[in-house]
A and B are shown apart, each in its own frame.
Chain A
């Protein structure tokens, strides 16, 4: 089976470095434009951040106790299995902390329901098992999560918790599947430079009942 020819990341970076080393407008143009100046570095701001050196400018707000609950719930949603590690093993709790701490409307809208949901989770754990959520057994965690895992099935009194769980699950997935480990779990094999794009390989065409592409 013919695989697309991989250029290799190192080679691609060389291309990019080469393109960067030979500016389209070089000394020749500068000589012709004696008044010309090279651009000063941009004044960085939230609307013009350095895309090559990203940073998160805001402080995280969740307490250690809240993070322990986040970590436990993340791993109920995405536990380790034979193909990939758990959510907490790849930094998802810190991502959720970053998310609920962000100074933007969408994240601010998530902040109260998520912090409230985490507190509810411990209240509910204490009520049922006299222990915080993080200290429950796997079966005990499951008992609670089964009641809130799907909004349409949530019983009266559990609607808000189910909405919290749905949002928390989506965020956990974002945190997990954007890591290298998460992308590997999905068998995403792109983001690598290719010399040619050959379309779907024969086993894909066969599965989809499609004829080989001639054009």
Chain B
């Protein structure tokens, strides 16, 4: 990606965008296409999936056969640059007794380079949760407000799936979704097993092309059903900001990008208007300023809150745009739990290619809305089920723990056992909605700075019973499905939700630290992700989220950023910014 150097920046821009992932990338795309002069600042390095992606490389050629390490926590070939659970020289802290996990990359395109591509629309209930069960808070917008932007986003990025007309699982208009790939053997078997359990198993929605797409002169090939999306995609078949959003935005001539630029604060004038940002040029460690009429933060829910909390002034002593005191508050992640099973029916299946797209071809949307509304479940919000298995490419740990099925065989018998059990394991994972609460938030840790001298974040966390009971329910459901498949769980389903639940932050769906609302006393942003206090300041990542439905957030971040930028452009044209 062509970039510019610090010395070549324009004296001033219409808009500065901080961050280049889903929110920043979509903001840049919409603004640049509309003729808005835009500068993007990215804290990480330049990155080009077309030339850098290891598409067919084998585990045998990677250190430790590609196994996860602290340097490459999702494995050697994962696209993440300079990050993961730890970014070198950029610590964060957790309050005593809290073990928050915060995944950060330092690269152009951010987490869109390695994400799971699961692209689910939030449904009508998801925008008005309090209206249904009296918990949490409602969004200031409805599904109808978002639907046109979901349509456009799906069409632009490319999402496959099907329309099933299920409750709170929205259909897309005809022709928007691409055809889903055919199900794999273990997916069909699971679908059959779930009939008796009354659990729907339907085609997944993933941001992966099953048909070629050509938009904005950007020619993208369809998936060729090999190699892992987490490595990135050199043929641009999956959605990454760096292959889908940034190239056409740069091509307009309206977008400049500076990488290795770590933004530390938003600057304001005497009237409290944003004037630009101060950032550390990482190559020289010099503090620099960039000026614009409008500032958009899209650095990720944690980093965007951090920038605002660190932007203190006489006008905003508690952080910029924080008259409500809500910045950093109502941090949410997704509830996660998992269980694996060994399925005898899947032993010794005739060899065939089960790679498919990277990720699930089918999934189970939440199905117990009626029981939940009737108060029969003991927890208020739902989850969907993701599952994988089959004859996957052997990687590090391929037969770890197999002795529980083989009785400790070795030698020729062990080789026969490996052939027999290969492909017979199915893994189930739940992804559930967490209800925002007062005990989950981030704040500045006054004793800790990163290597750029910027005060670090500290996380506080406490699950409510809703999340813990939901995680235990997931375990029970997975065990029922495994049993219905005629299989045996690797371990007994965990009945204690506190033991079943993934760690806070671990699912990497952190949202909600700069929430939108209809009342400026109780929210930071209006429905267009625009600050109530500082009208030329916007936040277009996951931070504005009011709730965190079980629908993975990326598609909603993209659609919401598009909607917000349309409003921003209107306001710019009217001279209101």
Contacts and interface: CB of A to CB of B under 8 A. Distances in A.
Partners in one complex: yes
A199 B184 contact: yes
Contacts of B62: 54
B411 A76 contact: yes
A56 interface: yes
Contacts of B65: 95, 174-175, 178
Contacts of B45: 39, 42, 48
28 contacts: A16-B55, A19-B221, A20-B234, A24-B50, A25-B250, A36-B2, A48-B81, A49-B71, A76-B410, A77-B414, A98-B64, A102-B63, A102-B69, A149-B408, A153-B408, A166-B408, A174-B397, A178-B394, A178-B395, A178-B396, A188-B394, A189-B352, A190-B354, A190-B391, A193-B226, A204-B350, A205-B188, A210-B192
A97 to B, nearest CB: 12
Interface string A37-57: 111001001111101101111
Given A16-B234, A25-B247, A173-B402, A205 B355 contact: no
Given A15-B235, A77-B411, A178-B60, A170 B225 contact: no
B412 A81 contact: yes
Interface of B: 1-5, 7-9, 45-46, 48, 50-67, 69-72, 76-77, 81-84, 88, 181-185, 188-189, 192, 218, 221, 224-227, 231, 234-236, 243, 247-248, 250-251, 253, 256, 259, 345-346, 349-357, 391-403, 407-412, 414-415, 418-419, 422
Contacts of B77: 51
A194 B192 contact: no
Contacts of A19: 50, 221, 234-236
Given A36-B8, A153-B408, 13 more contacts: A15-B221, A81-B415, A102-B69, A153-B407, A166-B408, A169-B414, A170-B397, A173-B402, A186-B418, A189-B352, A191-B56, A199-B181, A200-B352
A208 interface: yes
Nearest to A187: B351
B418 A52 contact: no
Contact of B415 (A34, A56, A83, A150): A83
B353 A194 contact: yes
B4 A52 contact: no
Contacts of A32: 251, 253
Contact of A38 (B2, B182, B235, B396): B2
Contacts of B57: 51-52, 54
B231 to A, nearest CB: 7
Contacts of B53: 51
A116 interface: no
Nearest to A84: B415
B69 to A, nearest CB: 5
Contacts of A164: none
Nearest to A83: B415
B353 A208 contact: no
A154 to B, nearest CB: 9
Nearest to A81: B412
A29 interface: yes
Contacts of A83: 415
A54 B82 contact: no
A151 B1 contact: no
Interface stretch (A4-12, A59-67, A123-131): A4-12
Contacts of A137: none
Contacts of B247: 23-25
Contacts of A194: 224-226, 353
A208 B2 contact: no
Contact of A54 (B63, B182, B410): B63
Contacts of A198: 182
A36 B53 CA distance: 23
A169 B410 contact: yes
Nearest to A168: B410
A104 B410 contact: no
B58 A178 contact: yes
Interface string A175-215: 10111101101111111111111111101110110100100
A187 B419 CA distance: 8
B224 A195 contact: yes
B400 to A, nearest CB: 5
A151 B403 contact: yes
A83 B414 CA distance: 13
A107 interface: yes
Contacts of A9: 56
Contacts of A36: 2-4, 8
Contacts of A112: none
A141 to B, nearest CB: 10
A157 interface: no
Given A47-B72, A149-B409, A35 B5 contact: yes
B185 A208 contact: yes
A201 B352 contact: yes
Contacts of A177: 394, 398-399, 418
B236 to A, nearest CB: 7
A146 B84 CA distance: 42
Nearest to B346: A208
Given A54-B76, A189-B353, A210 B189 contact: yes
Contact of A210 (B185, B409, B410): B185
Contacts of B409: 149
A149 B226 CA distance: 36
Given A29-B253, A173-B418, A180-B60, A200 B185 contact: yes
A39 B388 CA distance: 38
Nearest to B216: A24
Pick from B54, B65, B357 the residue with the most CB of A within 10 Å. Answer: B65
Pick from B59, B401, B415 the residue with the most CB of A within 10 Å. Answer: B415
A55 to B, nearest CB: 7
B560 to A, nearest CB: 25
Contacts of A186: 391, 394, 418-419, 422
